[in-house]
Amino acid sequence: MRNFRGRPVLGAIFGFLFFFFVALDLLFFGIVPLKSAVITILPIVGIFVGLAWARWAPLGGRREPSDAPPAY
Amino acid sequence: MVKRVLLGFAALSLAGLFVFVDAAPAPAVVSSGCQGTGDFEKSGHHYTAADAGVDEVPLEDTVHWQGSIDTAATEQAYSGSIEVQLPWPLPAMQIDSWKGSSDSTSNKGDKHYKLPSSVPRNVEFEVTGKHTQGITCTGHVTVVVAGSAFDSPAAPASLIGTVLTGGVLALAGRVKGGGVA
């Protein structure tokens, strides 16, 4: 857990849900047929994407304050 | 940075669409020894067991159907079932089955059906069927319910779900406690 800069539990749960809804979008808009395994595989992939997203955590970080005095 | 991340997600999603699009749908196939037709009263569609491609059916209609099997016209046991194929690893869902004994080798009738309005439109369902009566006939057909995605509440609900869960997923990528990057 210490390797995660973001929120891994939130990332795993909502990665699953987000990719589940993406799979439903693909189904309901006629891009994949009902029997396609993409519908069951995508949510599983979403868990790992959510974890990777939480580990990377590219949002909300502040820059290191500079020690150098401002130049006038 | 945020712009680059969003651009990356967009590119990934677009690529995913092309990767996951399946090949052209399989045609209707019925093994030899059986014949069947269906005439849709309102939509005017006429489908046979030998049709190729996707069969488009309306949400509500009356079907004049008939079928026959090449077997001896003597009293014998029969059985059969119809299933809808679900995504792997889920098992197929049986929607009807029948069994009994008969000396008839053909049948016909009229069937009025009305599907719920929540049924998603333009989604390909693969339906498989089997009938055993002396010989065994098997077949499958790809069916779509006519209409556009937004004729059913399922598609808008799914889109809303995508946006909401995508928003919360984005929050998982925020640095905990607003730490230093």
Q: Using the CB atoms, write b or e for B38-61: b if 16+ within 10 Å.
A: bbbeeeebebebebeebbbbbbeb
Judged by CB atoms closer than 8 Å, whether chains meet at B180 and A61 is answered as: yes
Where does residue B4 rank: exposed (0-12), middle (13-18), buried (19+ CB within 10 A)?
exposed
- Shortest distance between the Cα of A63 and any Cα of chain B, in A, equals 6
Instruction: Reply yes or no on whether the pLDDT at B101 is more than 60.
Output: yes
Does the pTM surpass 0.90? The reply is no
Q: For B25-36, how does the pLDDT look when each residue is reduced to its tens digit (9 = 90+)?
A: 444 567 778 999
State whether residue A43 sits within 8 Å of chain B by CB: no
Check residue B11 and report its DSSP letter: H
% helix, strand, coil for chain A, step of 5: 55, 5, 40
Tens-digit pLDDT profile for residues B56-100 = 999 999 999 999 999 999 999 999 999 999 999 999 999 999 999
Three-state SS for B45? coil
For residue B98, count other CB atoms closer than 10 A to its CB: 10
Please give the C-alpha separations between residue B125 and each of B64, B68, B145, B150, in angstroms, as whole numbers: 21, 24, 9, 18
Query: Could you tell me which residues are beta bridge partners of residue B80?
Result: B98, B131
* Residue-averaged pLDDT of chain B: 83
CB contact under 8 A, B2 and A10: no
**Cβ neighbours of residue B63 under 8 Å, at least 6 residues apart?**
B38, B39, B40, B41, B110, B111, B112, B113
B17 min Cα distance to partner chain A (Å): 8
Kind and range of the H or E run holding B127: strand B125-133
Per-residue pLDDT 10s for chain A (72 aa) are 668 899 999 999 999 999 999 999 999 999 999 999 999 999 999 999 999 999 999 987 665 555 555 655
Question: B29 has which bridge partners?
Answer: B140
